[in-house]
Amino acid sequence: MLELQNISFGVDTDAGKLEIIDDVSLTVADGSFTVITGPNGGGKSTLAKLIMGIEKPTSGKIIYNGEDITPLSVTERAKKGIGYAFQQPPRFKGLTVRRLLSLAAGATLPEDECCSYLTGVGLCSKDYLNREMDASLSGGEAKRIEIATLMARNLGLAIFDEPEAGIDLWSFSMLVKSFRAMSSGRHNSVLVISHQERIMDLADNMIVIADGRLKNQGTKEEVLPTLMGEFNQECDFRGKENADGKA
Amino acid sequence: MEKLDSLLLQEIAGMHDIPMGAYNIRKNGEGLSRRSTANIEIRPKTDKPGIDIIVAPGTVNESVHIPVIITQTGIDDLVYNDFYIGDGADVLIVAGCGIHNSGDSKSQHDGIHTFHIGKNAHVKYVEKHYGEGDGLGERILNPVTAVEQGENSVCEMEMVQIKGVDSTKRDTKASLAAGAKLIVTERLLTHGKQEALSNIEVRLNGADSSAQIISRTVAKDSSKQVFYYNAVGNDKCRAHVQCDSIIMDNATVSSIPGITANSAYAQIIHEAAIGRINNDQLVKLMTFGLTEEEAEEIIISGFLK
What's the rounded Cα separation, in Å, for the pair A78 and B272? Answer: 35
Model pLDDT for residues B212-248, shown as the tens digit of each residue: 999 999 999 999 999 999 999 999 999 999 999 999 9
Which chain A residues are Cβ-neighbours of B291 within 8 angstroms?
Answer: 75
Q: Where are the domains of chain B?
A: 3-303
Which chain B residues are Cβ-neighbours of A99 within 8 angstroms?
Answer: 302
Which chain A residues are Cβ-neighbours of B287 within 8 angstroms?
Answer: 52, 54, 74, 78, 83-84
A78/B216 CB distance under 8 A: no
| B149 and B175 Cβ atoms separated by less than 8 Å | yes
- pLDDT at residue A244 is higher than 60: no
What integer is the mean pLDDT of B290-300?
95
Find the closest chain A residue to B291 by CA distance.
A75
- pLDDT at residue A240 is higher than 60: no
- pLDDT at residue A232 is higher than 60: no
- pLDDT at residue B178 is higher than 90: yes
Task: Choose among B283, B290, B301: nearest Cβ to A54.
Answer: B283
Quick one: what percent of chain B has pLDDT higher than 90? 72
What integer is the mean pLDDT of A94-107?
94
CA distance B305 to chain A (A): 6
pLDDT, position A239: 43
pLDDT, position A237: 47
Average pLDDT taken over every residue of chain B = 93
- pLDDT at residue A246 is higher than 50: no
Window A:109-138, CB contacts with B under 8 Å: none
Q: Longest Cα pair distance anywhere in chain A, in angstroms?
A: 61
Which chain A residues are Cβ-neighbours of B298 within 8 angstroms?
Answer: 95, 103
Burial class (CB in 10 A: 0-12, 13-18, 19+), A184: exposed
Task: Choose among A90, A106, A153: nearest Cβ to B284.
Answer: A90
B287/A74 CB distance under 8 A: yes
Task: Choose among A54, A93, A106: nearest Cβ to B289.
Answer: A106
Model pLDDT for residues A192-210, shown as the tens digit of each residue: 999 888 889 889 899 999 9
pLDDT band at A186 (very low <50, low <70, confident <90, very high): low
**Helical spans, DSSP H, in chain A:** 44-52, 74-79, 97-105, 111-120, 125-128, 139-151, 169-183, 197-200, 220-232, 236-243
- pLDDT at residue B14 is higher than 90: no
| Strand pairing category for A33-37 and B195-204 | unpaired
CA distance B226 to chain A (A): 21
pLDDT band at A245 (very low <50, low <70, confident <90, very high): very low
- pLDDT at residue A247 is higher than 70: no
Which chain A residues are Cβ-neighbours of B278 within 8 angstroms?
Answer: 90
A74/B278 CB distance under 8 A: no
What's the rounded Cα separation, in Å, for the pair B56 and B89? Answer: 7
Which chain A residues are Cβ-neighbours of B275 within 8 angstroms?
Answer: none
Whether A200 contacts chain B with CB within 8 A: no
B299/A95 CB distance under 8 A: yes
pLDDT, position A238: 45
Residue of A69, A72, A92 to mutate, interface with B, max B Cβ within 10 Å: A92
| Strand pairing category for A67-68 and B224-233 | unpaired
A86/B290 CB distance under 8 A: no
Find the closest chain B residue to A153 by CA distance.
B288
pLDDT band at B264 (very low <50, low <70, confident <90, very high): very high
- pLDDT at residue A233 is higher than 60: no
pLDDT, position B80: 95
What's the rounded Cα separation, in Å, for the pair B271 and B228? Answer: 13
Model pLDDT for residues A24-82, shown as the tens digit of each residue: 999 999 888 999 999 999 999 999 999 999 999 999 999 999 999 999 999 999 999 99
Model pLDDT for residues B112-162, shown as the tens digit of each residue: 999 999 999 999 999 988 888 877 888 888 999 999 999 999 999 999 998
Altogether, the residues listed in chain B come to a count of 305
- pLDDT at residue B17 is higher than 80: no
Cβ neighbours of residue B179 closer than 8 Å, sequence gap 6 or more: B151, B152, B206, B207, B208, B209
A89/B284 CB distance under 8 A: yes
Model pLDDT for residues B35-65, shown as the tens digit of each residue: 999 999 999 999 999 999 999 999 999 999 9
What integer is the mean pLDDT of A229-242?
51
Whether A84 contacts chain B with CB within 8 A: yes
B289/A78 CB distance under 8 A: yes
- pLDDT at residue B265 is higher than 80: yes
Burial class (CB in 10 A: 0-12, 13-18, 19+), B134: exposed
- pLDDT at residue A19 is higher than 50: yes
Find the closest chain B residue to A104 by CA distance.
B288
Which chain A residues are Cβ-neighbours of B305 within 8 angstroms?
Answer: 94
A93/B289 CB distance under 8 A: no
Which ipTM was obtained for this model?
0.89
CA distance B91 to chain A (A): 27
What's the rounded Cα separation, in Å, for the pair B109 and B69? Answer: 9
Find the closest chain B residue to A81 by CA distance.
B289
B280/A90 CB distance under 8 A: yes
What's the rounded Cα separation, in Å, for the pair A52 and A33? Answer: 17
What integer is the mean pLDDT of B107-111?
88
- pLDDT at residue B8 is higher than 50: yes
Query: Reduced to 3 states, what is the DSSP secondary structure of residue B285?
Result: helix
Find the closest chain B residue to A154 by CA distance.
B288
- Residue by residue, DSSP assigns B145-164 as EEEEE-TT-EEEEEEEEEE-
Quick one: what percent of chain A has pLDDT higher than 70? 89
What integer is the mean pLDDT of A169-176?
77
According to DSSP, the residues that pair with B198 across neighbouring strands are B170, B227
CA distance B219 to chain A (A): 16
A103/B305 CB distance under 8 A: no
What's the rounded Cα separation, in Å, for the pair B180 and B120? Answer: 8
What integer is the mean pLDDT of A219-227?
87
Altogether, the residues listed in chain A come to a count of 247
